[in-house]
Chain A
Amino acid sequence: GQQLNQSPQSMFIQEGEDVSMNCTSSSIFNTWLWYKQDPGEGPVLLIALYKAGELTSNGRLTAQFGITRKDSFLNISASIPSDVGIYFCAGQDANFGNEKLTFGTGTRLTIIP
């Protein structure tokens, strides 16, 4: 199936650093979502974006829905140990549910002690 290109593939940072990752697609999406997945668990929603240009924050996390509707980025400020995990972007063709999600390739975040 189709996948979104997500970069970087992995990141090694020190605690306290800011993190930035992005997701690009050749197709237009009407909804962008960002998830975090811990080992052996299902994804947990971090931020949902429904409108092109929308900038949304959730605590130390900020995400934006690109104007072209073909990209999105996620920023994490002042990283902490519990931020470790795999971050996935996902796009959906319609604003309303019951439409399948296309997932990005993932960004693995590791915090160096």
Chain B
Amino acid sequence: GAVVSQHPSWVICKSGTSVKIECRSLDFQATTMFWYRQFPKQSLMLMATSNEGSKATYEQGVEKDKFLINHASLTLSTLTVTSAHPEDSSFYICSAQEGPRAGELFFGEGSRLTVL
């Protein structure tokens, strides 16, 4: 299947700092990428839909000013957690749509954020 890569795989930061997570589609172009958050022993919760060249669409309850999403090219979307707090510590996972069918959606390996 297609490859989606996230960077960094894990990051530890101090409270109040900002952290940027990258999501790249390595062998295909993706006009749409999705960002999920997963707390320990829980399911994936969609945070936002990232659209290349336009503003992201955020799910209800997700603060767009706190979780900045930029989809500047067809192979890269970034999620920036601004002014991070310990409650933002989580596993962040992106996915990218390779083709039109649901089964052509591929996930990155995830990025674990720990805010001290």
Contacts and interface: CB of A to CB of B under 8 A. Distances in A.
Interface of A: 1, 3, 31, 33, 35, 40-45, 48, 50, 88, 92, 94-106
Contact of A41 (B61, B100, B106, B109): B109
A98 B32 contact: yes
Interface string B13-47: 00000000000000000011010000000111110
Contacts of A3: 43
A99 B31 CA distance: 12
Contacts, number: 77
Which among B34, B60, B101, B108 has the highest number of chain A CB atoms within 10 Å?
Answer: B101
B34 to A, nearest CB: 7
Contacts of A100: 34, 46, 49
Contacts of B109: 41-42
Interface residues of B, number: 32
Contacts of A50: 101-103
Interface of B: 1, 4, 6, 31-32, 34, 42-46, 49, 59-61, 91, 93, 95, 97, 99-110, 112
B112 A40 contact: yes
Contact of A40 (B100, B105, B110): B110
A41 B93 CA distance: 9
Contacts of B107: 35, 42-44
B44 A43 contact: yes
B97 A98 contact: yes
